[in-house]
Structure formats: structure tokens, C-alpha cells
Structure 1
Amino acid sequence: MVKTKTILIVDDEERTRQGLKKTLEIWGDGRYEIYSGSNGREALEICRKRRVDLLITDIQMPEMSGLQLLEALREISQEPVVIIISSYSEFEYAQRAIELGVKNYLLKPISKKRLTEAVEQAMEVVQSQERAGFIDKVVDKSLIEVNTEDTASTPIKEAMAYIQENINGQLSLRDVASHVHLNPSYFSALFKERTNLTFSEYVTRKKLQNAKKMLLTTNLSIEEVAEKVGYQTGKYFIKLFKDYEGTTPSKFRKTASSHSI
């Protein structure tokens, strides 16, 4: 579920503000939602109502400076990628801007070419951050630990590969043990020894990891997601999801989607 990226331009000089907005609207060709504010307080109100991916703000503004705006945004958990624009080149401004995570610092007057280049670079940063955030939301850290440790035992590696190939189906310990030619009881003990997870927990985490990806990237219903990852009933899937993730699939989708993707 790809969302349109949002750009907010903040400058107390109306001519500059409107010029920047028009340039980016032409450049963006409808790909972005572009808003503008005449001062920091107005910008802060906009940010309270919607997520902003890229903030382009002047430093010197009445009531609330651009740097004060960035500090205020942190307090409401909004940390967009930032481009500072200013008529001033004093070192202390640039230094503080860097401390606040500013990605670019443009001095007025700004050419259309320089502006669009800076915005293109900033949007690459936005995409990179979103990919990292998506991975963090979806990937199960317990599975990372299993996959990065040396599982030495060839039968366990074969079992994990078989599980991966058949993860959306019905997987039983007996079937997987048979596939790697081991006694089920011995296989169960060996799997736990090598992975620090029981067979059942490992399979469940793999299925839920796939489910989280579907919840964030498709419009499938909870029941459809449950079926696709191999659960016969949505009710059982919801229970498992809540047990492992601490929230329901629908709440996970709503919360995670409101902050990314």
C-alpha cells in the first residue's frame, strides 16, 4: 500500500514560498502532496494533522525559527527529512542544523535546478529510511539470530530450507523430520538445541513474518492473510498474532501503515 509522499515548504516570504511550491509542483507532476506554511507555528499545526516526509524550511522566521520548528517536531515524534533554506551562511546555523539531522543547507537565491536536485536527493533518503523501517517492523529478530548463528548440523539446515519452501502450507514436525530422515523425537530435540526455538515456535514466527509483510503491502483481509500463510481460521491466526506481537493484525496494520510504507 504505497502512500503519496508529502512535502512541506515553510517560509515567511510569500513570494519565495509560492515560488518554491510552484517549482516543485511542476517537477513533481502529481507524485507528491505539497503543502506550505508561512511560519513555524503554522507548519507545526500541519504536521500535527498529517505525516510529513520532507520539510523545506527557512531558518530565520518570526515567532518560531526553522531550528525551533525542528526541535518542536521531535517532541511530537515527527522527524521528516529536512532541507534548510536561508539568506544567512553563519556557521552556527549550519552546525546546529546538522546536529538536528538536516540533510541539505541551501542559500538563497535558490535556482530551480539546485532545488530539484536537493529534493531528489532528500527523497532517496526518505525511501531508504522507509525500507529500513519496513524491515524493522516485519523481520522477527529471533529468526535473524537463528539464521546468523552457525547451525552446523546439516539436517537442521535442510529442515529450515524445507520449511521455507513450504511455509504457507501445513507443516508438521513429523513430516519435516521424515524429510531429513530423522526420528521425530530426536529431530525435535536437535532443532531446539541448534536454533534455541522449538519447531512449532520457529514455524509460527516464519508464518507471522510473512503475514506482517502482507498486512503492510496488500489490501487483503485478515482472513485472507491467515489463509495465505497457512492457517485454516482467521480466529486462530488472530490469537497467535496477538500472542507473539502483542497486538491484533488489524491494529498492527493500522499503526505501522500510519508511520510508513
Structure 2
Amino acid sequence: MHILIVDDEMIIRNGLKNMMLSYSKPFTSIRTAENGEQALAFIAEYPPNIIITDIRMPRMDGLQLCKRIHEIYPFIRVVVISGFAEFEYAKQCMAYGVKEYMLKPVVKKDIHEMLDKLLPAMEKGVVAPTHSKKWLDEMTEHIWQLRLPDLDKCLDDWLSYCGERTDHPQQLNELLEDSFQAVLDRLQDKGHQYTGIAAAAIEKNALTDGKQSFRDKIHSVTDELALRRGGFKDLMTEVRAYIEKNIAKEVTLEEVANLVGLTPNYFSLYFKKTTGVTFVNYRMTKRIEAAEQLLAQPHYRIVDVAHEIGYEDYSHFAKTFRKVKGITPTEFRSKLGIK
């Protein structure tokens, strides 16, 4: 649980922090900010679970801060502290989702009672051990047995359950990260060591969606296990044969990944790792190699060669041929003595 205290007076900030530290349950972090602007910078860096803010502050007051939090971070619980004379002003915060007020002067008993009220509802992010063990054991077994439909159903149930436990993105991400590590630990006990080759790409592509990132990482574990059991060499033989058989078609990475039962992201990574080139460049090179064989036959017109390998636009074909071979199709034929 992360707390942020916002007040322009250092003595009050430190006093509130000490009151929080004396609470019966420890907090992960308690940060302090001098005004609304500094608070927003801290929130952007790491969103807290609870913000306790004064109303009267320079640069950006508590009302403005509540408005910005409501617009950008509606999952944060905000507690407003105000003097009696400011109470009507503080009530405007209701429009911004604030439901907790404390009148100055605030004492330790007030802080502890406020926490007693807020924390039980917010601690729903803690998953019951019996629930987590059941789902994580099932998920691990589905991965181990490569039961993909069952795995996807289990993933849907688990992500739905976790989403119901908290609406705080950071808390949800931490919960899912712990879940992912728990699955890896279970698989390691079975003898599978995850290399994490796809993890960096997954995190880069899904920073804003913790649920999708978790789903992708679980799929990457399944893909890796399937590859180890089936052998990537045989899989690549099937991929190459499919591309050559459909040389004139716009074969997509997603299409081929589905053919061999892998997720597109993971297939792309392993394809490049194995061949040294991207899927798109490999397919393009194979097309041009097929074009070379046809161009070596004098009875084929160059425009017909382009159509034969899937290029409806001749200029696009000529440009691609030059990109791969360094010369135009006409120059290639001239070198073969074909006019």
C-alpha cells in the first residue's frame, strides 16, 4: 500500500507521516509533496493507493489537484484535510469523487480511524491463497500438457478474478507479475526452465495493459515448451515449405504462426533467431529467388514474371528486385545474355 501526503507546511507533512507510521499495519511507501504540481509529478512516477491532501496550497491547491486526479487517476482514493472555514470549499471536491474529509486539527486517532475505514475495502487486491493455488495449479498443468483451449479459459477466469480484486493498475500489475512467477516456479519444479526470450518484446509492446502482457507471457512459456518438445528444426522446415508453396500469395506472419500453433510475437522472435532475418525479409528474398529462375527462361516476359510471383504492380516488383539483387530485372537478364 502506497501513501502520498500533500501539504505546503513541512511540520504538518512530517506530522501526518509519523501518524501513518504509527498505524498497526505497515505501508510499502509514504511519500510527501509540497503542492499539487509536485504531487502530480510523484503520481506520474508511481501512483499511490491513497492521497491525503490539504486544500490551501500555493501553485496548485487541493481542489485543482482533486480535479486532475479524478480525470487521470480515478482509481486513487483521496482524503481532503481542511479547516472549518474551508469546509464548504472542500465540499466541492465531491464532484471529483472525494468521499473522505478530515477537519483540522488532525490527530493520530483521526488518521487511524480513516485508515480503518478505507483499507478493508482497498485490500481486496489481496488474493486468497486457496483461490490462487487452485487457478495457478490448473494454469501450470494446462501449459505442461499443452492444452491451449483449456489454458485460454483458465486465463480468462484468472484475469477476470484479478481485475475484480483491484482497480489500481500498479497493484494489478504486481499481482499478475507475482502470478506469472508462481507459474514459472511450478514449471521449474516439473523440469522446465523458461528462457524469457520473448519477455522484453512483450513488456515493450504491452506496458499499458498488464492483463494482455500477462496473457502474452503465459503464451510465450507455452510456445517455448512446445518448441522444445517438437523441435524447432522440423517446424522451420514446414514454414519454409509453406512459404515456397504459396510464393505468389501475400502470406502473413500471423497466418504462418497459426499454421504451426505459435503466437505471432513468439514466432517472429524465433524465426529471426533461427534464420537471421525477419519473416518479411525472408519471404521477399524467396520471391526474388523464384523470379530469378523465371527470368532465366527467355520465353517469360518480365511483367509476367512479376505476376507469377505475386506482384501486380511491375514498378514495385522492379524496385524490390533491385533492393535485393542490386540490379534491375532487365539488367539481370542482360547479364545472362537474354534480350
TM-score computed with the length of structure 2 as normaliser: 0.43
Identify which of 15, 21, 44 aligns with 1:25: 21
- Matches of 1:88 and 1:125, distance apart in 2: 28
Is residue 142–residue 151 contact of structure 2 (8 Å, CA) maintained in 1?
no
Q: Quote the residue 1:96 is aligned against.
A: 92
| Cα-Cα RMSD | 4.4
Kindly report which structure 2 residues correspond to 1:1-261, keeping only aligned pairs within 5 A, or say none.
5-27=1-23, 30-77=26-73, 79-90=75-86, 92-128=88-124, 130=125, 170=145, 201=149, 203-209=150-156, 215-218=176-179, 220=181, 248-249=216-217
SS in 1 for 2:56: coil
* Structure 1 residues 208 and 77: alpha-carbon distance in aligned structure 2, compared to 1, 3 A threshold: same
How many correspondences in the alignment?
A: 184
Letter in 2 for 1:218: S
Letter in 1 for 2:179: T
Select the structure with the greater relative contact order (CA < 8 A; seq sep ≥ 6): 1
Letter in 2 for 1:23: M
* Structure 1 residues 112 and 233: alpha-carbon distance in aligned structure 2, compared to 1, 3 A threshold: closer
* Structure 1 residues 54 and 17: alpha-carbon distance in aligned structure 2, compared to 1, 3 A threshold: same
Q: Quote the residue 2:274 is aligned against.
A: none
The one-character-per-residue Cα deviations of 1:52-102 (angstroms, maximum 9, x if unpaired) are 111000111112111211222344436411111011355643432222122
| Structure having the larger proportion of residues in helix | 2
- Please identify the structure whose Cα radius of gyration is greater: 2
The gaps in structure 2 that reach 5 residues or longer are 128-137, 163-174, 206-210, 221-339
The one-character-per-residue Cα deviations of 1:189-238 (angstroms, maximum 9, x if unpaired) are xxxxxxxxxxx84x24323247757944435277667789x9x9979xx9
TM-score computed with the length of structure 1 as normaliser: 0.54
The gaps in structure 1 that reach 5 residues or longer are 133-162, 173-199, 253-261
- Matches of 1:69 and 1:251, distance apart in 2: 41
Is residue 52–residue 78 contact of structure 2 (8 Å, CA) maintained in 1?
yes
Letter in 1 for 2:58: P
Shift of residue 44 of structure 1? 1.3
- Matches of 1:7 and 1:19, distance apart in 2: 14
- Matches of 1:249 and 1:28, distance apart in 2: 37
Letter in 2 for 1:205: D
Is residue 52–residue 81 contact of structure 2 (8 Å, CA) maintained in 1?
yes
Letter in 2 for 1:118: M
